[in-house]
Structure 1
């Protein structure tokens, strides 16, 4: 029997395992998910993407500064905007390599989002290379969902000339560590590859072994605080592309929560 990615993570030395599905979302998160300003197309996939559970697991709260790295059309950006409120800020961060290679019309949805009065008061767009997340304010949370494998696998539009994908992913981790406040959180959500496969399937099946992400984030200085299996699917054999109609939208996904050690902590000494 194949073990799903969340079970495999139990053997990776996690000191404290937190499970998103066991935490009750506070009202400011459920209200953000239910917000009438969210597009119907976003709400239609909430049952699969489970935003309330994930945002609760991440610990995002009113007043936080959040970087949504590689935000796509802004599915989570909108929710973050409503959660952090007027005293917080959300930065939709697009990698410089992506911005220079993808047709401009692909970014119309995120440009429209940051210009929308429902979100523009506390949401802005930033284009940055992988090694810089200097958005002008210390961050409480850096979040990236379903794109780490693209960077690691040097998928063409995410690639940087003269550099490998693993190098760029490591730079992203280091940039997240630097941009976060002491005690800040780094969340990585992605499609799981077969245990032990490393980054082998990152550019082909668009999957990555969570152990590879953990190793890179720890090398950047992060501590793995917890995992969640809220998006896991033990029926996924990890052998198909995430775009295969047989599994699209229902892949086995891992959720990793890393924390930057607080100043004066044992890890910092």
Structure 2
């Protein structure tokens, strides 16, 4: 009898978790997260170009999700995701070598459900994190392209760590067609079609393309760090088939 009750409770918890994750989130609810006082002045300045509400909508972030933010940098995206998944969710902020900005962020406002994961890109997922609902890699795939990283192995490990139906969202500065990864270190850009083909090799299916960071006025001929107007950026959402 006790085992049956325990099984029923576990099933109820699982159903409740799924219901939370499936519940629709309005634009206003996402926008309200931006006013949270733990976000820094630097974050708020970055909002204009980083389009955080559109990012959360595109990634379909829901309360209760478990998320890995790769190449987390100063933690802008990781903390935004943490606010969106709420106390019932969790975010791992992956960094090969956590930097000063990230360390200061974590010290200023510790959050039990935001954890720094010091891991290589070749093996980015903490064992305790899987299975994941979402992996994000924002504006850094191009940097990984010129490092001594086996990206096919990296993407396969991300694929393995995601739940069936889990998503992998990649956003980056767009390079000219046919350039592949050649502009990664020089112009800090990468070709969209190259990224799509590479990630598909791991078993992912392209599920959506976002236009919220596109800029047709960008010639893609200069460094994304100095682009005026701002660089054209592609947003890709991949899914692990069920």
Q: Per the shorter chain, which TM-score range?
A: 0.7 to 0.9
Question: Please, what TM-score do these two structures have when normalized by structure 1?
Answer: 0.76
Gaps of 5+ in 2: 1-23
Q: 1:145 aligns with which of 138, 154, 159?
A: 138
Question: Within 1, Cα distance between the matches of 2:172 and 2:70?
Answer: 13
Match of 1:42 in 2: 43
- Seen in structure 2, the aligned counterparts of structure 1 residues 245 and 192 have a Cα distance that, compared at 3 Å, is closer
Which residue is equivalent to 2:171? 189
1:61-210 maps to which residues of 2 (within 5 A)?
A: 61-95=62-96, 99=97, 107-117=99-109, 119-132=110-123, 133-137=125-129, 138-152=131-145, 154=146, 159-160=147-148, 165=149, 168-210=150-192
| Preserved contact between residue 63 and residue 87 of structure 1 (Cα < 8 Å) | yes
Residue among 208, 223, 235 paired with 1:255: 235
Shift of 1:172: 2.1
CA displacement, residues 139-186 of structure 1 (integer Å, 9 cap, x when unaligned)? 11100111000111x2xxxx23xxxx5xx2222211211111111000
Query: Which runs of 5 or more residues in structure 1 are unaligned?
Result: 1-22, 100-105, 263-269
The answer to whether 1:243 aligns with 2:225 is yes
In 1, the alpha carbon distance for the partners of 2:183 and 2:93 equals 27
* Whole-angstrom CA distance in 2 between matches of 1:136 and 1:26: 32
Q: CA deviation at 1:108?
A: 2.1
SS in 2 for 1:190: strand
Change (3 A) 1:183 1:31: same
Task: Report the RMSD for the aligned CA atoms in angstroms.
Answer: 1.8
Q: Secondary structure at the match of 1:211?
A: helix
Partner of residue 266, structure 1: none
* Aligned position for 2:196: 214
Looking at structure 1, the residues matched to 236 and 88 of structure 2 have their Cα atoms a distance apart, in angstroms, of 27
Q: 1:226 to 1:245 in 2, by over 3 A?
A: closer
CA contact (8 A) 1:67 1:141 kept: yes
Matched position secondary structure for 1:68: strand
- In 1, the alpha carbon distance for the partners of 2:127 and 2:219 equals 39
**1:120, distance to aligned residue in structure 2 (A):** 1.5
Larger Rg: 2
Conserved 8 A contact 2:67-2:132: yes
Q: C-alpha displacement at 1:46, in angstroms? A: 1.2
Q: Give the C-alpha shift of residue 48 in structure 1.
A: 1.5
How far off its partner does 1:27 sit?
A: 4.3
TM-score by length of 2: 0.84
Q: Answer whether contact 1:62 1:84 (CA < 8 A) is retained.
A: yes
Aligned residues: 217
